[in-house]
Structure 1
Amino acid sequence: MTQPRRTPAPDTGLSRHLARVMDDLVTIPGTRIGIGLDAVLGLLPGAGDILGSGMSAAIMYDAARRRVPLLVLARMAWNMLLDAALGLVPVVGDAADVAHRANRKNYRLLQASLAEGRTSTRSGPVYLLLAALLIVLPLVIGIAIGVLVLVALWSLLTR
C-alpha cells in the first residue's frame, strides 16, 4: 500500500536559514543537541534578548508575507514571547532557551501551514493590521525585556 503524497511546501529559504542559524548552527559533539546564535546571544544580558527578538521577528514577517492564518501567527508570537521570558532567568534560562527553540518551532509552523495550503481569508487591510500587531507586540515586549535587564544591570554595577 502506498502512502499519499504530500505536496512540498514552497521554499522559505530565508526563514529556513534563519531558524537554523538561530537554533541549530552547531551540534554538540556526541549528541543531537544543536546550539545556535540565539543561545550565544542569550549570554549577553539584555542586548542578546533585543537582538534575538529582532531576528526571530523576520520569520514571522515571512509568514505574514505569505498570508499564513492569524492563528498560526498567534502561535508564533507566543513562541517568541516565551523565548524572551526564558531569557530573563540567568543560566537556567539559557539552557531552557536551547531546549525551547522558538525559531525552529516557528519555521515548522510556517512550513506546515504552507504545505497544507492554509492561508488567511481575511481582507487585505484587516489581515495586515492584525498580522502587524502579532509581529510587533512580541518584538516590542522582547526589546522591553532586554532594556529592563540592561537598566537593572547598569543599576547594580553603578551602586
Structure 2
Amino acid sequence: MEFTAKPEVLPPRLKRGGKLFDDENLDMLSHILDDFLKIPGTSIRFGLDGIVGVIPGIGDVIGGIASCIIIVAAWMRGVSYVTLARMVANVGIEVVVGSVPVVGDMFDIAWRANRRNYALLAGSLAQPRKHTIQSWVFLIVLCVVLAGLVLLPMLLVAWMAEHVLRTIGMDMHRLFAM
C-alpha cells in the first residue's frame, strides 16, 4: 500500500475579511506614503513619497507607481470614472511638479496626493453624487489652467514677434501676404 500526501494550500492571511483593498489598509498606505514622519518642533509631516521623491530622475516615478495602488483599489470598488480621472490628475500633478528639484520636493510634501485620493475614495463611496460633481469641477478648472499654460506662451511669442516686426518697419499682414 502506497501512501501519497497532498500538500494543503492555505489562502494568505489578510485582515478584516481578507480584503487587500479595504479601508484600513488603504488609509495606512496613504499615511505611510504622505505623512507618517514629522519634523520635530514643526507641523510639517511627510512620508515615503517625499523621501523617495528626492532621488533625481526616478524618485517621483516610483512614488507615482506606489500611488497607483489607491487608484486601482478605487477602480475595483466601483468609484465613478470622473473621480478616478481626478485621482489620476492628483498623482500626475504630484509626479510632474515633484520632478522639479527642491521646489518640487516641497510641493510633493505639501500636495499629499495619496491622502487626497484616499479621501476621494472614501467620500465617493459614501456620497457618490457629491464627489462626482466636485470631480467634474476640479477637472474643468484643471483643463482651463492647462489650456492657459499652453496658450499664454503662444500669445506672448506672437506679441513679441509683432513688436519686433513693427520695430523694424514690417507689418504682420504684409509678412504673411508675401
TM-score surpassing 0.5?
yes
Runs of 4+ in 1 over 4 A off after TM superposition: none
Counterpart in the other structure of 1:102: 113
Deviation at 1:50?
A: 2.2
How many matched pairs?
109
Q: Distance in 2 between matches of 1:53 and 1:17?
A: 17
Deviation at 1:30?
A: 2.4
Q: Is 1:47–2:58 an aligned residue pair?
A: yes
Counterpart in the other structure of 1:68: 79
Deviation at 1:45?
A: 1.0
Q: Secondary structure at the match of 1:44?
A: coil
Deviation at 1:33?
A: 2.0
Q: Is 1:82–2:84 an aligned residue pair?
A: no
RCO comparison, higher one (Cα < 8 Å, 6+): 1
* Residues 31-58 of structure 1: per-residue CA shift (max 9 Å, x gap): 3221100110011012212211111000
Q: Is 1:115–2:126 an aligned residue pair?
A: yes
Q: TM-score, normalised by structure 1?
A: 0.64
Q: Runs of 5+ in structure 2 lacking a partner?
A: 1-21, 130-178
CA root-mean-square deviation: 1.7
Decide which structure has the larger Cα Rg and report it: 2
Q: Runs of 5+ in structure 1 lacking a partner?
A: 1-10, 119-159
Q: Distance in 2 between matches of 1:97 and 1:108?
A: 17
Q: Secondary structure at the match of 2:42?
A: coil
